[in-house]
Amino acid sequence: MSFLNPYFAAAVAAIVIPALLILYFLKLRRREEVVPSTLLWRRAVQDLQVNAPFQRLRKSLLLFLQLTVIGLAVFALARPIIQSSATEADRLVLLIDQSASMNAREADGTRLEQAKQQAVRLVRTLNRRNAGWRSFLTFGAAETRTQALVIAFAERARIISPFTTNTADLVSLIEQIEPTDGPTDLREALELAEAYMAPPAMTTDKTPVPAASGARLILISDGRIAHLDDVVLKSGTLEFLRIGATDDNVGITALRTQRSYERPEQLSVFLTVRNFGPAPVETDVSLYVDGTLAMVRAVRLAAPAAPSAAPARDAEPPAEEGSSASLSFDLPLNKAAVLEARLSREDRLAVDNRAWAVIPPPRKLRVLTVTEKNYFLDSVLRGLPLEEFPFATPAQYEANTGQAYEADGTSRFDVVIFDKVRPAKLPAGNFLFLGATPPLAGFPEGQADENFALIWWEETHPLLRHVALDSVVVAKGLSLPVPKEAEVLIEGPRGPVLARYAAEGRHCLVLGFAVENSNWWSKPSFPVFMYNAIRYLGGGAEVADGPLRPGETLRFPAPAGVESLTLTRPDARTEKLRVDASGTAYYGNTDRAGVYAVDGGLPGRDQFAVNLEDDWESDIAPPPGPLTVDRRPVAELNAIRTATPEVWRWFVGAALALVLFEWWVYNRRVML
């Protein structure tokens, strides 16, 4: 504790306390009267003797109470404050966690609300020690004041306020921090802080900060931060202010949907539900189609066998046997719809109790094959349940007469197969290249390669399920120098043979050889591969790139001539999106889980579902033991319990209570 006005309070005490004592020392003045006898005035005579000057003060409860009241008043005038140890630094960096787990409800609000309260209380203690009087006594001399920088972070970090000494602005900006449903990543927050701490420091009041001055970083979080061993603190000192204690939560950790390839009107739904709390639970899992209840199933989950793992880990915390359940539902759905899975049980974290999926309407796929002639492809496509599968020569495709193959930069077919053909340009769409490469950056035409076998393939990938490649030999093919973002699925002795690449609305599978240049055409696995590839590219299976997570960018194609779209967020707020020259609107502020929809967009591409689906964020139990960063423990701070650093009101209240007691004591003595 320190005082804002100690000198003023000392001056008042130096005047008032001696005056009170003098009043008790001085002899009382009495009026002289002639009386016939002093027998009845013996007590008055004793009183005169007692109040004679220069005698010792006798014990007096009233004097003690009056001195105590004056002392409390002096303490109140001194304006005592609760001083945080963080104010010892010239520069202070507050790192406020706003990730999904910070939305967990505690006894007095969410964790984020508690974190903001702690940040506000800490900021209010800055630059308050001897304010005003010290500058008066130093005759306006320069004074070192603490500057504070505030960063809020989830998966991405952003500056709430650069370095400033204006605590009023800091409090206002901290209170405006909003929750998100994103995962937690401390690395970007520390990198951003280090960039601002590098000299010259950035300040709002243009106050220079010496380059050598140290900075204290205070992390305000529940500790649910992944990959802390990979975080490196290059400058300053890091301290941890722990928020939250609750651990009761059950969440939906995965939601996948799939239409039957043979019966598109039939929808399969796959769910994973996990119990993160300390006790067994029972809950109902409900499926809603466009807000209408469709199916309900009860599930019973055991408690995890072990407590939550420490935060310094590289993998998601494993689910204990019995604490996780996988559910599947089959329901008829012959239209486009928004599917919602919902848990009936209330717990401490609400965001993972719901998950959404945007279901496209049922349809059979339309596949175009661009080739001079290929008997093997024709025979395979005839055996698949397709709506249509026309063939076109390369010259016909490039001519695109009557926009038969593409329009407005988008393919008219669900899947286009290029057999030994590299087109001049590639519209948005889904493509399978056989013995050729796409005309995209990072994909050169490739070098010829001969007589090789396949040595590795990702057999767990949906494209290669039930596809045996052990005895496949390629007589003539290409080496594929794929971009680093591509996913390699098959490798030969000299590099990739099959790769998946998605960018800018184009989803490509690139196979480095034509089927007739190998013995694959004679194997049962070739039709299975074509079945998987068309189903995977055309959307007959789950979304190729997996579910959308908070923070990912949404892409809304717009009809020709439309310049803007109106987006409705899950929290019902609306925003205007500008359509760029390519006819697409982008939106990246997907910080909350739910359905994002635009008015006026292309049907089937005007809604996207964003789900949490993060085991680490759903496991809301604060990690046991100290927080470790770069494999070193972080010092932990105690929470500030008072809402304001100034506590003079406590002393004023105590003084008033003693005044009332002193008045009661005085009146009792007079009556006696």
Confidence of residue 82 (pLDDT cuts 50, 70, 90): low
Residue-level pLDDT at 451: 92
Confidence of residue 119 (pLDDT cuts 50, 70, 90): very high
pTM metric for this prediction = 0.66
The one-character DSSP state at 598 is E
CA dihedral defined by 198, 199, 201, 206, rounded to 10 degrees?
-170
Check: CB of residue 154 under 8 Å from CB of residue 551. Answer: yes
Average pLDDT over residues 109-119: 95
Confidence of residue 417 (pLDDT cuts 50, 70, 90): very high
Check: CB of residue 650 under 8 Å from CB of residue 80. Answer: no
367-538 matches 250-309+317-362 in CATH topology: no
Confidence of residue 226 (pLDDT cuts 50, 70, 90): confident
Confidence of residue 135 (pLDDT cuts 50, 70, 90): very low
CA distance 599 to 619: 36
In order, the DSSP letters of 49-69 are: HHTSTTPPPPP-HHHHHHHHH
R_g over Cα of the chain = 38
Residue 108's contacts (CB-CB under 8 Å, 6 or more residues apart) are: 114
* Token pair listed for 633: 């423990």
Please report, for residues 306, 307, 451, the alpha-carbon distance to residue 312 in angstroms, rounded to integers and kept in the order given.
16, 15, 48
Find, among 310, 356, 351, the residue nearest to 183 by Cα.
Answer: 351
Instruction: Say how many C-beta atoms besides its own lie within 10 A of residue 129's C-beta.
Output: 16
86-99 residue pLDDT tens: 545 678 999 999 99
243-254 residue pLDDT tens: 999 999 999 999
The one-character DSSP state at 328 is E
Strands (E), 318-472: 324-332, 337-343, 354-359, 367-370, 391-392, 406-407, 410-411, 415-419, 429-434, 447-453, 456-457
Return the percentage of the chain with pLDDT > 70, whole number.
77
Its CATH architecture, for the domain 367-538, is: 3-Layer(aba) Sandwich (3.40)
CA distance 259 to 339: 13
Lowest mean pLDDT among 223-237, 368-382, 558-572, 573-587: 223-237
Residue-level pLDDT at 142: 43
CA distance 89 to 515: 69
CA dihedral defined by 66, 67, 70, 72, rounded to 10 degrees?
-110
CA distance 508 to 486: 10
CA distance 492 to 261: 31
CA distance 469 to 492: 11
Confidence of residue 543 (pLDDT cuts 50, 70, 90): very low
Three-state secondary-structure class, residue 561 = coil
Check: CB of residue 593 under 8 Å from CB of residue 354. Answer: yes
Check: CB of residue 130 under 8 Å from CB of residue 176. Answer: no
Average pLDDT over the chain, rounded to an integer: 82
CA distance 279 to 191: 39
What is the domain class of 250-309+317-362 according to CATH? mainly beta
Q: Is residue 266 over pLDDT 80?
A: yes
Find, among 195, 180, 264, 187, the residue nearest to 225 by Cα.
Answer: 187
CA distance 634 to 628: 6
CA distance 237 to 380: 65
Residue with tokens 């109106």: 566
Residue-level pLDDT at 4: 52
Residue-level pLDDT at 91: 87
Residue-level pLDDT at 630: 78
608-639 residue pLDDT tens: 999 999 999 999 998 888 888 878 889 999 88
Angle between helices 6-25 and 61-77 in degrees, nearest 10: 160
Where is mean pLDDT largest: 48-57, 73-82, 446-455? 446-455
Return the percentage of the chain with pLDDT > 90, whole number.
51
Q: Is residue 436 over pLDDT 90?
A: yes
CA distance 280 to 434: 53
Three-state secondary-structure class, residue 295 = strand
**For residues 8 and 177, which has the higher predicted lDDT (pLDDT)?**
177
Check: CB of residue 396 under 8 Å from CB of residue 421. Answer: no
Q: Is residue 84 over pLDDT 60?
A: no
In the chain, the amino acid numbered 353 is N
φ, ψ dihedrals at 137, nearest 5°: -70, -25
Confidence of residue 641 (pLDDT cuts 50, 70, 90): confident
Helices and strands (H and E) in the chain: how many: 12, 37
Q: Largest Cα–Cα distance in the chain? A: 147
Q: Is residue 58 over pLDDT 60?
A: no
Residues comprising the chain, all counted: 672
CA distance 510 to 379: 21
CA distance 507 to 173: 42
Q: Is residue 258 over pLDDT 90?
A: no
Residue 111's contacts (CB-CB under 8 Å, 6 or more residues apart) are: 101, 102, 103, 104, 222, 243, 244
Average pLDDT over residues 576-600: 92
Q: Is residue 355 over pLDDT 60?
A: yes
CA distance 265 to 364: 10
* Domain definitions of the chain by residue range: 2-30+41-82+649-671, 85-245+627-645, 250-309+317-362, 367-538, 558-604
CA distance 577 to 43: 94
Average pLDDT over residues 57-71: 68
Q: Is residue 579 over pLDDT 60?
A: yes
* Token pair listed for 233: 């603190």
φ, ψ dihedrals at 586, nearest 5°: -115, 145
Residue-level pLDDT at 125: 80
Contacts 24+ apart (CB under 8 A), 170-173: 170/123, 171/120, 171/123, 171/124
Confidence of residue 479 (pLDDT cuts 50, 70, 90): confident
What is the domain class of 85-245+627-645 according to CATH? alpha beta
CA distance 317 to 310: 9
